[in-house]
Structure 1
């Protein structure tokens, strides 16, 4: 009988072909992976390489500050107008009340004059009303005098006639006449007294209202006269005039700044701070600066959070008085302390941050640099604080990454 021979599933030839295919695919995959790894060659002398180190992180920021007066007062005009006359110049030392310049505004002056005339007429009318009330009071008082005099005469006659009538010297008709006159003048005096009392109450109320109206009108007149006087702008305080550049014919709006007067009672520093620190700078923080070889301690007195051109402003005052020799406009470098020192991994500052924002760096090892993600915390004028991604002693390229941000590996030629 014939024997059925089973065919083998994988012969030697099949295995060799399969192994060759796997090796070929592996080489293709390796080549493809190499093509994905973008490499850049750079000269070592064109790179700045810094070593990650563990040390004290000084949480400070360096600021360029300007010396400004401790107190400055803005000079402005309550009424707009055109410069008619200039009495002093920029930089002059002035006393309070010193005339600085004169503003001309014909329309405003016409309005002030018209209002002043109208108010004066109203005051005169109220004063005439006061005189009329006083004259009426005098008339009533005179009437009272006449009635009281007539009443005294009638009273005297009534008493005499009463005695004569009792003795049967006069008739009933004659006694009745004197009695009638006596009663008439008594009643007339009572009615006039009531009229005078009512008139007095009304007069007091009217006079009080007149006085209030006159006082308000006089206050209005005073304001008008003061506004007219304010056309000549005077120094509100004593000090040194600055930011003052008027020209005859130049127009100023209402309440527009004309200049400033620096009160010469001390100095402070004003500095711009990068908006990066806006949540970390606050009033009361300490700082220090050097002037003429001495170090002076300072305190943040004011934080102005409005950001302009990437910066916000702070003001600092000297702890024990401003040093001698300071002048407005001098520039000083100050070191502002944000918090106490702490132990941290430190990486030197460099231009790489502008390209990466501190999210990744090139870490150097064995003649090449590999791209690695990191996390950076605080920064000062020398170092970044490394929170994650780097180890103590590792080396990092900290110069500019502008030429190789799109690469993954940098081959460093020595």
Structure 2
């Protein structure tokens, strides 16, 4: 009986021990889970040194740095097209000839009108000089007669004739308006200048060595004033027309270097520099709405056969650079109480630390004071953190 009682007792002891172990394990897991819930999971990045560049990115369109467009100055007809688009031309070489018959008639008429107006002016000037001399003599005669009248040598009615002569000459002089005649001459000169320009424009020639970019008319086609005729450009010297936002524009200056690339030539990069920054911003419509943009012009500093006028290009403008800069990811930087700060990962804690900034880019921030190379900064969940908050990370940086 005694042995029979001892065997169940041992069994109960073993069972109890196992139950206590299971209970302890469950309690530990519960406690561990609750403890882990109070620890914030974060990601970190290592503070490192590398060369840093600040760039402005935009897109633009290529066009010849030297380009000339021609438009019809008067109604006429296209007589002959001598060059096709893509043809290379030299300075002074004819490209398009317009009918000049009406232009020559208008030129002849303008020359005749000017000659007539100049003749009228010379005649008016001559008459004025003649009448001024005659009036001077008449006034002297009147003065002598008035003196004789005071002496009683002549009658009053004899003086009246001299007075009438003086008045008549004064009226004739007043009728000669040399300023009006001169204005007519100047008007005729301008008309003649315009007629000569129209006559000259009937033969369109290249103003420089270049390439015919476009011909906008056909032979025998009537044209009206302002109609596009042709364009010529130097396709070997290209420039980029682009724009940047008003904030980036503050970082630009003439002579800054740029890198230019094309989607069609992804393996190649071309060099350029800023040659013009517009003095004012203009409102442009972008994919995000209206935006103030500043127009910028860059010139390629090398001759490029692969790029053509009209191509869309990507532009990267270098605004600043720093060798061996101490950097962190831009998302590591925070503003707390008006100060620039980061959270540094130290032994499971997020330690708040004030820093001083240097050069900034889209991805990285240079730190000039407050951090050392190799330290770990927290880049996620900072809004949940305070100084010395418990954190956990599974990053390989740890």
TM range (shorter): 0.3 to 0.5
Normalised TM-score (structure 1): 0.44
The structure whose Rg is larger is: 1
Normalised TM-score (structure 2): 0.45
